[in-house]
Amino acid sequence: MSEPRYKLHWVTVLVETLKALKEAILPLAVVLFTGSRNNTSGNWFLDNWSLVFGGVLVIYLLSSGLIKWRRFSYWFEDGELRIESGLFVRKKRYIPFERIQSLNYTEGIFHRPFGLVKVQIETAASSGGEAEAELTAVTREDADIIKKRIAEGKKRKSQEAESEFEEGMEHAEEELSSEEPEAKRVFSLSPKELILLATTSGGIGVIFSGVAIFLTQFGELLPLDKVSDELAGLIKFGVFVVVLLILLGLFIAWLLSVAMTFFSYYGFTVRVSDEEMIITRGLLEKKRTTVPLSRIQSVSFIENPLRQLFGYGRLLVHSAGASGEGSTIQLFPLVKKKSLYAPLHEIFPGLDLREPEEKLPKRGRKFYYRIDFLWMIPIIAVVGWYFYPYGLFSLLLVPAVMGLGMWQHRSAAYRIVGNQVTIRSRGISLQTSYTMRKRIQSANIRQTIFQSRKEVASIHLNVKSGMGTHDVTLRQMDLKEAERLLAWYEPSHEVSGNGHEEGFVDLEK
């Protein structure tokens, strides 16, 4: 029996065209600005070559969206999702149902008025933040059909491998698999938490990075000489006016970062079923990300100094083979530490969230800041010499770096309970990592000749994160304790008591 072929919605033309124009905005701007300067040769084509070239490029970009819509189709056959696309070069992609890990939905501003979604199909081979396949615009009904067919295909594959099931039981289970598994809501951002998240986010750095990229691309085309003359004129009015303008610019950038975060995390909700977590968020563009529980490798709770003052932090999970949202996923972008246990216990019932109590030895404290003197001393010497006497203020770097190192040493701790290791460390933010023994890909101890004299060492635990690894590190640990942790990791090592394994599922499964 032949399967029907499904087509994308016509909104695909608009979405793909705007996407192509967005990606080509820089070369288009460069061509138009550069060509507009040379228009005195007397030859119409030479004087207007930039307009001709830009027009041809725009026509090509407009036609690319139309071509994708007309020539893109997908269908289900032999336990696979099959996709065919392309005009001159026809591309066919076959994705077996059992290889599909998750389906992520996105509702953009062009999708929502028509009840459409963008579907991203992820497999273990997805990398670089790119999904294995993408359906630009399909109806919600078609998206549900895709999910239903994939679930049925996986169930049928499992049933074929288990011959002991009776035929009647197989039909009953097949009907049950077609239903959407009930997902329980375990976490959502309150309006107060959303505002706090937006006001304490680091989005202002993204804005400044975007401005810097723009200036590097179009610095030669902008009238920077006139701007510098105007700035020189402003300086004549006094330093107060200049400082006021700088503060105003920073305030506007901060407001933009608050707005970006607010729109991005509006309606943030986490739901969990027996096999997966579903994360939804967004105001203008609503995103739905599915994270299989079997792919979760490690959990980390991050507290930056500002949020730590109010008792807040963010919870990250590291996923194997993830894309789209990335291998590091913000499970709870902002959560009160006292309220962390209840929602996290719903997802990982066996996770031990007690604070680590094993501290580091004092003899390893100086290693947290001694190495920094290698770069501090030359900088202090140069600044102090050329900017004397004000350059001597650079000497304040010494107590600042020493204080940071002692703070890092004091914050570090660990705990081993059953089959779980909890490691707490600090750069500037405090990070507490919860990792199961079977999730660790490799473990090693590193020790320099200076550390060997003090009998301390650094231990590194590597867990799967995307297509790479996430390094959980504890520096300047007592050597005997580091060796004990390494022996605990050995596959032949048996752990007695409650290993708390039910919260994580083996990667091989």
Do 398 and 429 lie in a common domain? Answer: no
Do 39 and 149 lie in a common domain? Answer: yes
Can you give the pLDDT at residue 40?
57
Q: Could you count the other beta carbons within 10 Å of the beta carbon of residue 387?
A: 12
Do 332 and 444 lie in a common domain? Answer: yes
Closest CA to 68 of 139, 11, 144: 11
Closest CA to 154 of 132, 130, 128, 173: 173
Q: How far is CA 290 from CA 136, 172, 181, 233, in A?
A: 17, 26, 13, 56
Q: How far apart are CA 502 and CA 377, in angstroms?
A: 51
**Is residue 220 within 8 Å of 292, Cβ to Cβ?**
no
Can you give the pLDDT at residue 216?
52
Q: How far apart are CA 126 and CA 331, in angstroms?
A: 20
183 is a domain residue: no
371 is a domain residue: yes
13 is a domain residue: yes
When mean pLDDT is compared across 145-149, 168-172, 242-246, the lowest value belongs to: 168-172
Task: For the chain, give the mean pLDDT.
Answer: 79
Q: How far apart are CA 260 and CA 193, in angstroms?
A: 15
Quick: pLDDT tens for 65-96: 888 888 899 999 888 899 998 877 888 889 98
Do 369 and 287 lie in a common domain? Answer: no
1 is a domain residue: no
Q: Which of 265, 287, 309 is the last residue of a domain?
A: 265
Do 27 and 144 lie in a common domain? Answer: yes
What burial class does residue 232 get, using C-beta atoms within 10 Å of its C-beta: 0-12 exposed, 13-18 middle, 19+ buried?
exposed
Q: Which 8-state DSSP code applies to residue 355? A: P
pLDDT level of residue 170 (50, 70, 90 thresholds): very low
Do 300 and 384 lie in a common domain? Answer: no
352 is a domain residue: yes
Quick: pLDDT tens for 358-397: 999 999 999 998 877 778 888 888 888 888 888 888 888 8
Q: Which of 343, 374, 408 is the last residue of a domain?
A: 408
Do 308 and 377 lie in a common domain? Answer: no
Can you give the pLDDT at residue 484?
92
Can you give the pLDDT at residue 237?
56
Can you give the pLDDT at residue 480?
93
495 is a domain residue: no
Do 116 and 143 lie in a common domain? Answer: yes
pLDDT level of residue 177 (50, 70, 90 thresholds): very low
Domain that holds residue 468: 269-360+412-489
pLDDT level of residue 176 (50, 70, 90 thresholds): very low
Contacts of 26 (CB under 8 A, 6+ apart): 217
Quick: pLDDT tens for 312-359: 999 999 888 655 445 788 899 999 998 888 888 889 988 898 999 999
Do 112 and 238 lie in a common domain? Answer: no
Q: Could you count the other beta carbons within 10 Å of the beta carbon of residue 189?
A: 21
45 is a domain residue: yes
Q: Residues of the chain with pLDDT > 90: what percent?
A: 26
Do 124 and 169 lie in a common domain? Answer: yes
Do 315 and 249 lie in a common domain? Answer: no
User: Based on the structure, what is the number of domains in the chain?
Assistant: 4
96 is a domain residue: yes
Q: Taking 50 as the threshold, does the pLDDT of residue 508 lie above it?
A: no
Q: How far apart are CA 289 and CA 280, in angstroms?
A: 6
With b for 16 or more beta-carbon neighbours within 10 A and e for fewer, the 3-32 pattern comes to: eeebebbebbbebbbeebbeebeeebeebe
Contacts of 275 (CB under 8 A, 6+ apart): 181, 292, 293, 294
Do 214 and 100 lie in a common domain? Answer: no
Q: Which of 124, 155, 178 is the last residue of a domain?
A: 178
Quick: pLDDT tens for 422-463: 999 999 999 999 999 999 999 999 999 989 999 999 999 999
Alpha helices, DSSP H, located in 104-238: 140-160, 167-177, 191-199, 203-218, 224-236
**Is residue 480 within 8 Å of 358, Cβ to Cβ?**
no
